[in-house]
Amino acid sequence: MIEQGSRWTSVNGKFFTVISRVVVEGNVWIYYRDNVENSPSNEYSCYEESFLSRFYPAPSESTRPQ
């Protein structure tokens, strides 16, 4: 399940943080923002199915190579 505050990444290496997961009229929407250092973040939303087809869970800080 996609959880609020979880970090996700795209195939091109961009990172995103989930803001919320909301059910509207039977559809699950994911609201998320990009994580670009030293830049204002942009916010996006899409259906949960679309989100899962575009992104995958980001590795935790402890498992990233140094």
Per the domain annotation, does 2 fall within a domain?
A: no
Structure letter (DSSP) for residue 52 = H
- Report the number of distinct structural domains present in the chain: 1
Per the domain annotation, does 1 fall within a domain?
A: no
What does the pLDDT look like over 18-44, one tens digit per residue?
999 999 999 999 999 998 776 788 999
What range does the domain containing 16 cover? 7-63
What does the pLDDT look like over 38-52, one tens digit per residue?
678 899 999 999 999
Contact 24, 37 (CB under 8 A): no
